[in-house]
Amino acid sequence: MSTSTAKIREITGHAVAVRGNDIDTDRIIPARYMKELTFDSLGQYSFYDQRFDASGKATGHPFNDSRFQGASILLVNKNFGCGSSREHAPQALMRWGIRVIVGESFAEIFAGNCNAIGVPTVTVDTGQIEQLMERVEADPGTLLHIDLESRTLQAGDSSLSFQLPDSQAKGLLSGTWDTTTILLDGLEQIQTTAANLPYVKDFPYDRSGGNPADSGRPARA
Amino acid sequence: MGENLLRKVWDLHKVRTLPSGQDQLYIGLHLIHEVTSPQAFAMLGERGLKVLHPERTFATVDHIVPTDDQNRPFKDELAERMIQALEENTAKHGIPFFGLDSGLQGIVHIIGPELGLSQPGMTIACGDSHTSTHGALGAIAFGIGTSQVRDVLATQTLAFSPLKVRRIEVSGTLRPGVSSKDIILKIIADLGVKGGLGYAYEYGGSAIEALSMDARLTICNMSIEGGARAGYINPDQVTFDYLKGRRFAPKGKDFDKAVEYWKQIASDPDADYDDRFQLDAELLEPMIAWGINPGQAVGVDQKLPLLKELKEDAREAAEMAYTHTRFRPGQPIKGQKIDVAFIGSCTNGRISDLREAARQVRGQKAAAHVKALVVPGSQAVADQAAAEGLPEIFREAGFQWRQAGCSMCLGMNPDILVGDQVCASSSNRNFIGRQGSPTGRTLLMSPAMVASAAVAGEVSDVREFAEGGGA
């Protein structure tokens, strides 16, 4: 069965800057808020421990700042989203309202997770992100326009080019960023590849231990 | 020019090139757990899809399990709901589940190798970044997000862009008291937490070849902390000996066939690499990651860096680290008082880790102000430890001996730091809030170093530490 996903060509909106290198996914969403069976309610926990101090008092974090409420473009620095592979991190940001992230660089698992949910992660250089951040901090009303096809970002009257890997751009532009359907298209080839693997055909898993869930201990520790 | 293991495994598992230009890779082993799978099963359900290869999928429960009272229902209602969801999903889809009553439960990255599920030349995926661990067996193992867990459940494949390979050569011999944890902390400190972006790390050289499988697993486990998506060690006799006789490993003639394949899949002696890095094991000392990322690490005899000594990039992170930890630039790390000692996790919760730690505490007492915790990485590790009398050694030394789980590595179960406690921890991340308290402070080190810190009540040098039993 096929599931089509929306084509994502351009995003227009206000931006919010969260400064700092190596912002890890534990900071984007603390693990204690991951005890959920769905992603639905995660938006409120974005950057939770940065936004509230130990007594629960709101800090000056940009996500608390009334001027940045409603922002759909997140500006970040280097290696954003490092650490844990939790998709809860991009899911939380998306449910807070973020549609695209512009940064100097991204941790790979995080960027892959963003791509899988249709949130582009585009990169610019250090000077460009600094300019964008300063501009948005000085004037939160600045409207940004991101065009994935031409890979240009317009901020007010200035324009710059950004990087986006070809594979990501193709998927987003053609609405095929949801990979399951595309992967399943290759079903026959999947089975052929599997059947030829030495550990599938020549020496498969030894299952003589019976149902592993209800019998004894492994041979050794 | 020969080929490296990553290229060989990649070619063998490549299904086709996708329209996006990425490669579709077959995944030989999919491991799932309670935190990152329920949403993926829900997405399958919404699309009316089934699990394509339930026989290549295995489940356990680790992140949310309490390590003291494991009676059901769990006291934490949310945790109980998560384990129930996993029980239901695995039963519905015919996926083997190593639950709490199986005797085989444990941290997913401990049980994969231990059960012989993780094998050389395989592709392995799991919705957890520390999946890189399994690379120690010569597998290519990736941490993935939940939408990708859905992809693997539905198609047993993933879309991937090719990775470059950096050969990390560790020459020489480790000195007494220095362990594989110190090797990987040093690599991350030198190459940085972003150094591995775009790479898989291949670890080799005489110091790596001399390591046991347990010690190798520790190194590959933390590849992701250096930014590398995967890390691996070429399979050799240590690997074959480790796998022989394990529950799911091939037996008899099949085992011989497997060894043939495992030998072929290793990097050729003249293999090509995209980059190389060298480290001399002789020069290593016990390492401590003191800051807010695992790359902020110093040797136990060193002082914490002065801001002016650091490059601009590192300075900003160090400033944040000092603000969070309230440690002083220039202070020696040795002598830093600790409140909590944690031995366990997918990094260092294996039997040899517990043996090392037990050797340090035998006949000693944990300092009165220190809460000390030993958490075996799996039920099998716990059984083996019990057979060797380790729980008694720890208990007599004032340590709490717990049941298998992720425990204090991350704040998803009752084992958490309180307030701004300082924890000497054998885990993998010192991120702000990682151990469950937003103001908690984490010092990453080897299990032997954690054990000696627990007894001294402060960071101490395991090399100077008088061993109890033998003294």
- Asked if the C-beta of B38 comes within 8 angstroms of chain A's C-beta atoms, the answer is yes
Residue B176 lies inside a defined structural domain of this protein: yes
Q: pLDDT for B201-215, tens place per residue?
A: 999 999 999 999 999
The enclosing H or E element of A112 equals helix A108-116
Residue B170 lies inside a defined structural domain of this protein: yes
Report pLDDT for B19.
Answer: 87
Report pLDDT for A134.
Answer: 98
> Do residues A93 and A191 share a domain?
no
Band (pLDDT 50/70/90 cuts) for residue A216 is very low
Query: Rounded mean pLDDT of A64-70?
Result: 97
- Nearest-Cα residue of chain A relative to residue B157: A183
Q: pLDDT for B302-322, tens place per residue?
A: 999 999 999 888 899 999 999
Weakest mean pLDDT among A4-13, B177-186, B420-429: A4-13
Distance of CA B262 to the CA centre of its chain: 23
> Do residues A179 and A98 share a domain?
no
Residue B397 lies inside a defined structural domain of this protein: yes
Instruction: With beta carbons less than 8 A apart as the criterion, state whether B227 and A82 touch.
Output: yes
> Do residues B345 and B431 share a domain?
yes
Q: What percent of chain B has pLDDT over 70?
A: 99
Report pLDDT for B466.
Answer: 59
**Residue of B13, B49, B115 lying closest to A218 (CB–CB):** B115
Give the alpha-carbon dihedral of B430, B436, B441, B447, to 10 degrees. Answer: -60
> Do residues A100 and A184 share a domain?
no
Would you call B384 and A112 a contact, using CB atoms and an 8 Å cutoff?
Answer: no
Q: Which two tokens stand for residue B203?
A: 């670890």
- Asked if the C-beta of B84 comes within 8 angstroms of chain A's C-beta atoms, the answer is no
- Asked if the C-beta of B277 comes within 8 angstroms of chain A's C-beta atoms, the answer is no
Query: Rounded mean pLDDT of A35-43?
Result: 95
pLDDT over 60 (residue B471): no
Q: How far is CA B371 from CA A15, A87, B347, B442, in A?
A: 45, 33, 20, 14
Distance from CA of A157 to the nearest CA of B (A): 31
Helices of type H across B128-231? 146-155, 180-191, 206-209, 213-221
pLDDT over 90 (residue A211): no
- Nearest-Cα residue of chain A relative to residue B49: A1
Report pLDDT for A177.
Answer: 87
> Do residues A190 and A104 share a domain?
no
Q: What is the ipTM of this complex?
A: 0.94
Q: What percent of chain B has pLDDT over 90?
A: 97
> Do residues B155 and B168 share a domain?
no
Which residues, numbered 349 to 368 in chain B, qualify as contacts with chain A under a Cβ-Cβ cut-off of 8 Å?
A: 351
Which residues neighbour B70 within 8 Å (Cβ) at sequence distance 6 or greater?
Answer: B100, B403
> Do residues B330 and B360 share a domain?
yes
Report pLDDT for B467.
Answer: 52
Structure letter (DSSP) for residue A54: T
> Do residues A126 and A180 share a domain?
no
Band (pLDDT 50/70/90 cuts) for residue A210 is low
> Do residues A57 and A150 share a domain?
yes
> Do residues A132 and A195 share a domain?
no
Residues of chain A contacting residue B19, judged by C-beta atoms under 8 Å apart: 170, 174, 176, 182
Q: Which amino acid is at A185?
A: D
> Do residues B212 and B94 share a domain?
no
pLDDT over 80 (residue A219): no
Would you call A180 and B154 a contact, using CB atoms and an 8 Å cutoff?
Answer: yes
Of B345, B357, B365, the closest CA to residue B426 belongs to B345
Work out how many CB contacts closer than 8 A connect A with B. Answer: 280
Out of B251, B283, B315, pick the residue that ends a domain: B283
Of B425, B420, B422, the closest CA to residue B439 belongs to B420
**Residue of B47, B159, B412 lying closest to A3 (CB–CB):** B47
Total structural domains in chain B? 3
Would you call B436 and A32 a contact, using CB atoms and an 8 Å cutoff?
Answer: yes
- Asked if the C-beta of B411 comes within 8 angstroms of chain A's C-beta atoms, the answer is yes
Report pLDDT for B312.
Answer: 85
Q: What is the CATH number of the domain that holds B191?
A: 3.40.1060.10
Would you call B146 and A87 a contact, using CB atoms and an 8 Å cutoff?
Answer: yes
pLDDT over 80 (residue A220): no
> Do residues A198 and A104 share a domain?
no
- The angle at the Cα of B6, spanning B96 to B16, to the nearest 5 degrees, equals 75
Residue B106 lies inside a defined structural domain of this protein: yes
Out of B124, B143, B160, pick the residue that ends a domain: B160
From first CA to last CA, the distance across chain A in angstroms is 44
Total structural domains in chain A? 2
Distance from CA of A138 to the nearest CA of B (A): 22
> Do residues A179 and A157 share a domain?
no
> Do residues A116 and A157 share a domain?
yes
**Residue of A34, A82, A179 lying closest to B151 (CB–CB):** A179
**Residue of B99, B103, B157 lying closest to A216 (CB–CB):** B103
Band (pLDDT 50/70/90 cuts) for residue B18 is very high
Q: How many residues are present in chain B?
A: 471
Residues of chain A contacting residue B119, judged by C-beta atoms under 8 Å apart: 199
Band (pLDDT 50/70/90 cuts) for residue A217 is very low
Query: Rounded mean pLDDT of B365-378?
Result: 98
Report pLDDT for B1.
Answer: 83
> Do residues B294 and B258 share a domain?
no
- Nearest-Cα residue of chain A relative to residue B82: A37
> Do residues B222 and B271 share a domain?
yes
Which residues neighbour A182 within 8 Å (Cβ) at sequence distance 6 or greater?
Answer: A176, B18, B19, B20, B159
Residues of chain A contacting residue B18, judged by C-beta atoms under 8 Å apart: 167, 182-183
Residues of chain B contacting residue A207, judged by C-beta atoms under 8 Å apart: 248
Q: Best residue in B129, B158, B212, B430 to probe A by mutation, most A CBs within 10 Å?
A: B129
> Do residues A178 and A159 share a domain?
no
pTM above the 0.90 mark? yes
Q: Which two tokens stand for residue B81?
A: 């709901």
How far apart CA A12 and CA B31 sit, in angstroms, is 39
Report pLDDT for B250.
Answer: 97
Distance from CA of A187 to the nearest CA of B (A): 7
**Residue of A21, A31, A166 lying closest to B316 (CB–CB):** A21
Q: What is the CATH number of the domain that holds B379?
A: 3.30.499.10
How far apart CA A117 and CA B361 sit, in angstroms, is 49
> Do residues B279 and B409 share a domain?
no
How far apart CA B243 and CA B104 sit, in angstroms, is 16
Report pLDDT for B465.
Answer: 75
Comparison of pLDDT for B467 and B47, the residue scoring more = B47
Would you call B227 and A183 a contact, using CB atoms and an 8 Å cutoff?
Answer: no
pLDDT over 80 (residue A1): no
Band (pLDDT 50/70/90 cuts) for residue B347 is very high
Report pLDDT for A221.
Answer: 36
Would you call A221 and B384 a contact, using CB atoms and an 8 Å cutoff?
Answer: yes
Residue A212 lies inside a defined structural domain of this protein: no
Q: Which two tokens stand for residue B185?
A: 């902390």
**Residue of A190, A205, A216 lying closest to B155 (CB–CB):** A190
Query: Rounded mean pLDDT of B291-303?
Result: 98
Average pLDDT over chain B reads 96
What totals of helices (H) and strands (E) does chain A contain, helices first?
9, 8
Peptide bond into B235 cis (omega under 30): no
Which residues form the domain of B168? Answer: 164-283
- Asked if the C-beta of B162 comes within 8 angstroms of chain A's C-beta atoms, the answer is no
